[in-house]
Amino acid sequence: MTDADDIAIVKRQEQTLVLTEFDENVAFVLGSAIRARALSEAMGIVVDIRTWDRQMFFAATAGTSADNAEWVRRKINTVRRFQRASYRMVLERGEGPFPPQSGADPADYVIAGGGFPLQVKGAGIIGCLTISGLPGRQDHGVAVSALATHLGLQPQDLALPSQ
């Protein structure tokens, strides 16, 4: 598998994982499912689900720190600005800070996996589901799996191949 193959898969994820509705209840159901998985698999993660104007779900499991919440903030900013999964940014640009000419200050933006755009049919991208605590590809996978399951899809059908 090449990065180009992975980019195609992430683009398909972004096109497929479209919600029919999004509100506080959907955020709670999604977030609670992610937290339950994290607890059952002993994953130290932070999960943040939000619209662009407000946070609707937040949870942290054992093994996380304030640094994870900071990574989440920067991933959210990246998804909002570029309107794509933050892991797609990794595949397209390489991990690390944005180049200075981009105008994306590293204090506020990061190229790292784990931020996934929340798209609602008929409304477009309205927010972000963000995970931090695992390697970026795995953070991304947790978000994709949760959205796929919520939509009644088989997560393995949309997953990136294991490395």
Using DSSP's 3-state secondary structure scheme, residue 1 falls into coil
**Does residue 119 carry a pLDDT above 90?**
yes
Asked if residue 128 lies in contact with residue 115, where contact means CB atoms within 8 angstroms, the answer is: yes
Nearest of 108, 107, 104, 133 to residue 42 by alpha carbon = 133
Please give the mean pLDDT across all residues of the chain: 95
Query: How many whole angstroms separate alpha carbon 42 and alpha carbon 104?
Result: 34
SS3 110: coil
**18 strand-pairing partners:** 119
pTM over 0.85: yes
Nearest to 10 by CA among 146, 149, 141: 141
Tens of pLDDT, residues 37-49: 999 999 999 999 9
| Tens digits of residue pLDDT in 129-149 | 999 999 999 999 999 999 999
Specify whether the backbone of 42 is left (phi greater than 0), alpha (psi in -120 to 50) or beta: left
pLDDT 10s digits, 57-104: 999 999 999 999 999 999 999 999 999 999 999 999 987 788 888 889
At 1 the pLDDT is 59
pLDDT at position 99, please? 86
- Superfamily classification of domain 3-154: Haem-degrading domain (3.30.450.150)
- Domain boundaries defined on the chain: 3-154
